[in-house]
């Protein structure tokens, strides 16, 4: 049984359809990422699952329980990362965790959480003196106080510098090591690609693609762009255009100075023939490149729009 099941979730605000019939399920232990541009409906979706907003329509099951009849049990089972603006500036790191732990019947030892979020040395620091990354780590610690099975992290790395973002990635991956299920939202494609078991791309309240990052990229990977750089003369690159254009699967080919560029739907076969030809004819190749696709390419392919961070 999935740990979370969402069916045909819908939420409107006056004339705005924020979430438009979204359905998905998440297995225990997954890092499941909802990614989409500003206003796509990520926070609204998350808040409905967290019980903070009531859907107009649809069904949410957390370990088979629903908010209407089992809210007390669900609250013990989920961990929600608070907005860092909701932290109390005049409490210390330790006190912040202690206050939140008091809200629950069962809590994880605070020392263990401090260690987990790498704030052990800062336990006596006031929240107002923490860096952005440290605040976000504290917010994850707060989500962990009741030792939940499922954690909800809403854009935990927005606004952080690259190093602080990477430190947070390490913590999110450690959550997986503890066996937790994490539902994450982000604006950052690279983050979704690095962390997620599965990625759900949303735009204008609808799911436009849902799969593992690798499968999403694979969907588009049928055609690859390959480029070959020859030592200096333009002659080889120009001559090779004539050779490569007849290879099976080649859809486009041209040369730019000493570089040959082509697209092919059967990259292995094309490369095999190409290297056979250059070896037999003793043509030196200086560099070869195959363009890797990213989740960003997937988004553009599905929506026809440029990705906007």
Residue ranges that bind ligand ATP, judged by CB under 6 A:
13, 16, 18, 36, 38-44
211's CB contacts (< 8 A; 6+ apart) are 198, 199, 219
Helix (H) / strand (E) containing 308 = none
Residue 19 CA to its chain's centroid (Å): 19
Closest alpha carbon to 127 in 84, 86, 81, 89: 89
Of 11 and 122, nearer to ligand ATP (C-beta) is 11
- State the minimum distance, in angstroms, from the CB of residue 42 to ligand ATP: 3
Of 280 and 309, nearer to ligand ATP (C-beta) is 309
Q: What are phi and psi of 122, to 5 degrees?
A: -110, 15
For 209-238, the DSSP string reads: EEE-HHHHHHHHTTSEEEEEE-SS-HHHHH
Of 42 and 108, nearer to ligand ATP (C-beta) is 42
Q: What's the rounded Cα separation, in Å, for the pair 79 and 48? A: 14
Q: What's the rounded Cα separation, in Å, for the pair 81 and 174? A: 16
Closest alpha carbon to 150 in 245, 239, 26: 26
Of 16 and 99, nearer to ligand ATP (C-beta) is 16
Beta strand residue intervals within the chain, DSSP E: 4-13, 16-26, 31-35, 57-62, 78-80, 150-154, 181-186, 198-203, 206-211, 224-229, 250-256, 259-264, 287-290
- State the minimum distance, in angstroms, from the CB of residue 307 to ligand ATP: 13
- State the minimum distance, in angstroms, from the CB of residue 1 to ligand ATP: 28
- State the minimum distance, in angstroms, from the CB of residue 189 to ligand ATP: 13
Beta strand residue intervals within 92-163, DSSP E: 150-154
Of 12 and 107, nearer to ligand ATP (C-beta) is 12
Of 149 and 203, nearer to ligand ATP (C-beta) is 203
As given in the structure block, the two tokens for residue 220 are 């588009």
- State the minimum distance, in angstroms, from the CB of residue 159 to ligand ATP: 12
- State the minimum distance, in angstroms, from the CB of residue 36 to ligand ATP: 5
- State the minimum distance, in angstroms, from the CB of residue 11 to ligand ATP: 8
- State the minimum distance, in angstroms, from the CB of residue 18 to ligand ATP: 3
Task: List helix spans (H) across 83-131.
Answer: 93-101, 110-116
Location of structure tokens 């990520």: 42
Helix (H) / strand (E) containing 296 = helix 295-303
Of 149 and 155, nearer to ligand ATP (C-beta) is 155
Of 94 and 188, nearer to ligand ATP (C-beta) is 188
């Amino acid at each position: 049984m999935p740990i979370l099941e969402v069916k045909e979730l819908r939420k409107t605000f006056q004339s705005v359809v924020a979430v438009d019939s979204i359905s998905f399920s998440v297995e225990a232990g997954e890092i499941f990422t909802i990614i989409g541009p500003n206003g796509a409906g990520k926070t609204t979706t998350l808040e409905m699952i967290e019980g903070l907003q009531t859907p107009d329509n649809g069904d949410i099951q957390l370990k088979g329980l629903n908010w209407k009849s089992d809210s007390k049990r669900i609250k013990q089972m989920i961990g929600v990362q608070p907005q860092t603006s909701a932290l109390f500036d005049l409490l210390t790191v330790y006190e912040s965790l202690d206050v939140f732990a008091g809200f629950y019947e069962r809590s994880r030892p605070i020392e263990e959480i401090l260690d987990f979020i790498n704030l052990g040395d800062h336990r006596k620091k006031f929240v107002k003196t923490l860096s952005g990354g440290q605040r976000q780590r504290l917010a994850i610690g707060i989500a962990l106080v009741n030792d939940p099975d499922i954690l909800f992290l809403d854009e935990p790395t927005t606004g952080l510098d690259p190093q602080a973002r990477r430190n947070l990635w390490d913590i999110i991956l450690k959550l997986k090591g503890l066996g937790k299920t994490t539902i994450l939202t982000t604006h950052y494609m690279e983050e979704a690609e690095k962390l997620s078991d599965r990625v759900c791309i949303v735009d204008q309240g609808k799911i436009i693609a849902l799969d593992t990052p690798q499968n999403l990229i694979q969907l588009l990977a049928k055609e690859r762009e390959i480029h070959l750089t020859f030592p200096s003369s333009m002659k080889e690159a120009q001559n090779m255009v004539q050779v490569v254009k007849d290879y099976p699967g080649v859809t486009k080919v041209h040369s730019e100075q000493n570089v040959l560029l082509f697209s092919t739907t059967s990259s292995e076969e094309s490369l095999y023939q190409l290297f056979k030809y250059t070896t037999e004819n003793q043509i030196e190749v200086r560099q070869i490149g195959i363009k890797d696709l990213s989740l960003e390419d997937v988004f553009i392919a599905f929506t026809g729009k440029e990705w906007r961070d």
